[in-house]
Structure formats: structure tokens, C-alpha cells
Structure 1
Amino acid sequence: MERRQGRREAVSHLKRSLILDAARRVFESDGLEGASLRAIAAEAGYTPAALYFHFESKEAIYAELLAASLASLQEAVSAAVAATTLPTRRLRAATLAFFDFYAQNPRDLDLGFYLFRGGMRPHGLGREHDERLNAALFATLQPIGEAAEALGADHRMSRLAIADIFAHASGLLLLAHTRRIRIFAASARELMEHHVDRLVAELEKGETYAND
């Protein structure tokens, strides 16, 4: 009985993986708005009814893909900060791990910013999915806030530091991703390093966001 249950679970897991792989290809081709469960089912080799057994909507599928991407991102950031206990180094390590993950995985950047044929427009997957995914994203950035507080920032300043890093990294990643960075004959990563080093120096002096 247990062996039969184990086989069923393994088959179900395999089907979910095949559906997710197919869905990612469809999202890359058609975007979230252009994709349909029918197209995803056809790509995976299943009927639309078979997809409903695993996922209630295309938004649920997209949320699953994005959640897996964010889990990989969090693993990368956690591994980077685990190598040191010094706040300055942890802040720098967390920032650059975040940046490097998306620099090395541009399709995950597309996924996270809903850039699959959708452009830079507001998107959402429904309140429940959005809240869960936003919390997961914030958790990956939390080591930055913790390091900032260890350097003397209060709670408000630490959250501003997180927003600062996220905004700066996002802008540089988009410039690198679209190759617009070449206009400035600059390295996106070097600019990111310079920004985080400047932020660390300001935090150490207690000057960051003091007048905001």
C-alpha cells in the first residue's frame, strides 16, 4: 500500500514538473496575459482538464514558478552571508549575492519582474499569491536590513537600506539585461559594488537617510 502511494506521489510530482517546465516556455513566449491553460496543456502534452487536477489557474502556475525562483535566490543569499559574521561584510555579501543571482539567471529576472512579453507594467497574481511572493522576496533581502541595524541603523533606516539596494540593483540589472549599460561604457557589477560600499560607509557614520 505504501509502495503504491509512493508511486502515485512520484508520478504526480513528475507531472507537475512537466507542466511547470511547459508553462515556463509558454510564459516566455506569450507572457502572463497571453498565456492560457490550454496552451500550457498542449505544450506539456496533457488535456486542460488534467492541468486543473494540479493547478487552479495560470496565475497559480506562474506563482509556483516564481516561488521556486525566489527559493533559489534565498539559498544563494543565505549561503553568501553564512561565510561571515561582520555586519559590513554580510551587507555586502547579501547585496552582491542578490545581484549576481539575477545577473547569472536573466530568465529569473524576467520571471520576477513579469517581463515575458509584458513590458514594465503592473502585474499581479491575486492577493494571496502576491502577499506570499512579496514576503518571500522581502525575506531574501532581510539580511541587508539586519546588517544595517547591526551597523547602527534604526528599523526605519534598515528598511530604507533594503529599498535602496533593491532599487539600485534592479535598475542596474535591467540596464545590463537590455545591454543599455554599454552606452555608459560601465560594468553593472562594479557600479553595484561601488554603491554598496558607499552605503556601508554612510551607515557606519550614521549619515544614511538622516535627512529623509
Structure 2
Amino acid sequence: MQMRESRKEAVSRHKRELILDAARSVFAEEGLEGASLRAIATRAGYTPAALYFHFDSKEAIYAEVLRQSLASLGEAVSAAVATTRGARQQLHAAGMSFFRYYADNPRDLDLGFYLFRGGMKPAGLGHDRDHALNAALEAALHPIAEAAEALGASRSKANTVMVDCFAHATGLLLLLHTGRIRMFGASAPDLMDAYLRDKIAQIAKD
């Protein structure tokens, strides 16, 4: 009986991952607004009704795809920080690993901008989902704040540094992935590196 239940769970997990893989492709092509459960189901090889055994809406699917993306981001940042010693090196490693993750995974960056579909009007995925996803993003960024605080910044200042790094990286990533960075003959990774070094020097000086 136990083996039968385990097999059933394994099949369910496999189907769920097929749905999520299909959803990643559909969302990448159509965005949240343009995607439909029917399109996701067709891509996964299921009927729309079959999706409801795993997710109650396309927003729920999108939230899970984004949750997995943010978990991978957090792992990448934590792994980069773990290989360094000293607050200066850890802040630099955290900031650069955040930037590199999205530089190497532009679809994940697109996922993270779901709040601004349909122009710049915030939409969201529902209060509870938005809260959980924002918390996951903050957790991925938190090593930046921890390193800034270890470098001597107050907790409030360290949180400001974290937000500032996020904003700076996001701006550079948009320039990178849209190709606009070429207008300036600049390198987005080099600019991110220089920004972090300046920020670290400023914190240490203060």
C-alpha cells in the first residue's frame, strides 16, 4: 500500500513539473496577461481541467514558477557569499551574484517584473502570493544587508544599501537585456562591479 502511494505521489510530482515547465515557456512568450490555462495545458499535453488538480489558477502557476526562480536566486547568492571571507568581499560577492544570476537568466528577470504587466500599473498575483514572493526576494537579497551591517552600517543603513544595490542591478540588467547598454559603449558587469566597489568604500569610510 505504501509503495502504491509513493508511486502515485511521484507521478503527481512529475505531472506538476511538466505543467510548470510548459508554463515557463508560455509565460516567456505571452507574459502573465497573455497566457491562458488552455495554452499551458496544451503545451504540457493535458486538458485544462487536469491543471486544476494541481493549481487553482494561472496566477497560482505563475507564483510557483517565480517562487522556484527566487529560490534558485537565493541559493546562488548564498553560495557566492559562502566562498568569501570578510564583509567587503561578501558584500561584493552578494551583489555580483545577484546581478550575474539575472544576467545569465533573462527569463527569470522577466518573471520578476510581473507586477508591471500592462504598462507600469501594478497588478500582482493576490495579497498572500505577493507577500510570500516579496519575502523570498528580500531573503535572496539579505546577504547584501548582512554584509553592509558587518562592514559598520547601521541596520537601517544596511537595508537601504540592499535596496540601492537591487535598484542599481535591475537598471543595469534592463539596459543589458534590451541592448541599450551598447548605446553607451559600456559593460554592464563592469559597471556593477564599479558600483559595488564604490559603495563598499563609502560604507567603510562612514
TM-score, normalization: structure 2? 0.96
- Give 1:121 shift: 4.5
Equivalent pair of 2:67/2:133 in contact (CA under 8 Å): yes
Q: How does 1:104-143 map to 2 (within 5 A)?
A: 104-114=104-114, 118=118, 120-143=120-143
> RMSD of the TM alignment (CA)?
1.5
- 1:119–1:108 distance in 2 versus 1, CA, 3 Å: farther
Equivalent pair of 2:117/2:123 in contact (CA under 8 Å): no
- Give 1:85 shift: 2.8
Pair 1:97 & 2:97 matched: yes
Decide which moves more: 39-48 or 157-166. Answer: 39-48
Counterpart in 1 of 2:202?
A: 202
- Give 1:144 shift: 0.7
Q: How does 1:185-196 map to 2 (within 5 A)?
A: 185-196=185-196
Unmatched 5+ stretches in structure 2: none
**DSSP-derived class of the 1:132 partner:** helix
Structure 2 distance, partners of 1:117, 1:160, is 26
Counterpart in 2 of 1:210?
A: none
- 1:18–1:66 distance in 2 versus 1, CA, 3 Å: same
Decide which moves more: 9-18 or 37-46. Answer: 37-46
Name segments (4+ residues, structure 1) moved above 3 Å: 115-121
Decide which moves more: 118-127 or 26-35. Answer: 118-127
**DSSP-derived class of the 1:54 partner:** coil
Unmatched 5+ stretches in structure 1: 207-212
Structure 2 distance, partners of 1:140, 1:173, is 17
Structure 1 vs Structure 2: percent identity of aligned residues?
64
Counterpart in 2 of 1:58?
A: 58
Task: Report which of the two has the higher share of helix.
Answer: 2
Counterpart in 2 of 1:5?
A: 5
Equivalent pair of 2:115/2:124 in contact (CA under 8 Å): no
**DSSP-derived class of the 2:114 partner:** coil
- Count of aligned residue pairs for this structure pair: 206
TM-score, normalization: structure 1? 0.93
Q: How does 1:109-188 map to 2 (within 5 A)?
A: 109-114=109-114, 118=118, 120-188=120-188
